[in-house]
């Protein structure tokens, strides 16, 4: 069945790095844009980044620009989020989500999330 | 950035009630507006895409309308499983912003 499974979360000190992965299965991964969305404790949903189906276009929310990098390996059907210079305000559950062929499409399929805690 | 403002922020209602949630964009976003349901500890679930299209397998009591800057999500007859937080999101211009959420609680 169509599935997204995130991994790589954990507890990390401020200023350190973490890489999240999102393993996709059950659909043609290389045909879909992919997103990262996060939810901080007690807060709403915040869109983080999107990557086009071929990796040629990437966009970020301002608060992570220059620190986070979204990437994908279509041969491994896996989405990544490299997070550098982490801050306490990056603490959240991070979800990967499948968009459509276009980056403008809604996010139809979501993973269960991976928790990231940035704390000394 | 485009600001998405939902109202109300919270709402108490009873099973069987008709409920409407509104979402206003700070500039026109055509119909690049989507609605999600979020329950604690669960992944968000897409309900309505492109303002008014019902996502597959979502009950028909959910409906969406609007274009430009003003949008609504309507639940025609609340069911117990509908008590959750609802978010609108625009995907017209990055960053793809969400509304602050509307928490729907049991009266």
Distance CA B52, CA B56 (A): 13
Q: Do A45 and B97 touch (CB under 8 A)?
A: no
Q: Which residues of chain B have pLDDT under 70?
A: none
Take residue A7 and report the two structure tokens written for it: 């991994």
Contacts of A107 in chain B (CB under 8 A): 34, 36, 44, 46
Q: What is the pLDDT of residue B106?
A: 87
Determine the straight-line distance between the first and last CA of chain B, rounded to whole angstroms: 36
Take residue A99 and report the two structure tokens written for it: 């968009």
Confidence of residue A45 (pLDDT cuts 50, 70, 90): very high
| Least Cα separation, residue A48 to chain B (angstroms) | 8
Burial B63-94 (b: 16+ CB within 10 A, else e): bbebeeeebbbebeebeeebbbbbbbbbbbeb
Q: What is the pLDDT of residue B85?
A: 98
Residue A59 contacts B, CB cutoff 8 Å = yes
Are A76 and A63 in contact by the 8 Å Cβ rule? The answer is no
Q: What is the pLDDT of residue B58?
A: 98
CB pairs under 8 A between A and B: 61
Average pLDDT, chain B: 97
With H, G, I as helix, E, B as strand and everything else as coil, classify residue B22: strand
């Amino acid at each position: 069945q169509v599935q997204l499974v995130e991994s790589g979360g954990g507890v990390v000190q401020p200023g350190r790095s973490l890489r999240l992965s999102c393993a996709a299965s059950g659909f043609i991964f290389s045909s879909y844009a992919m997103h990262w969305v996060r939810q901080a404790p007690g807060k709403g949903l915040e869109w983080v980044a999107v990557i086009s189906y071929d990796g040629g276009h990437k966009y970020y929310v301002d608060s992570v620009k220059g620190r986070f990098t979204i990437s994908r390996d279509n041969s491994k059907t896996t989405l990544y989020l490299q997070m550098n210079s982490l801050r306490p305000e990056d603490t959240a559950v991070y979800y990967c989500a499948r968009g459509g062929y276009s980056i403008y499409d809604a996010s139809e399929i979501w993973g269960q999330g991976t928790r990231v805690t940035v704390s000394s | 950035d485009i600001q998405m403002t939902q109202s109300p922020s919270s709402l108490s209602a009873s099973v069987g009630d008709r409920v409407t949630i509104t979402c206003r964009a700070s500039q026109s976003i055509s119909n690049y507006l989507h609605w999600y349901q979020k329950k604690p500890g669960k992944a968000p679930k897409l309900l309505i895409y492109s303002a008014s299209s019902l996502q597959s397998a979502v009950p028909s009591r959910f409906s969406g309308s609007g274009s430009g800057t003003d949008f609504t999500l309507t639940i025609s007859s609340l069911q117990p499983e509908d008590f959750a937080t609802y978010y609108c999101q625009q995907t017209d211009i990055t960053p793809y912003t969400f509304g602050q959420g509307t928490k729907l609680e049991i009266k």
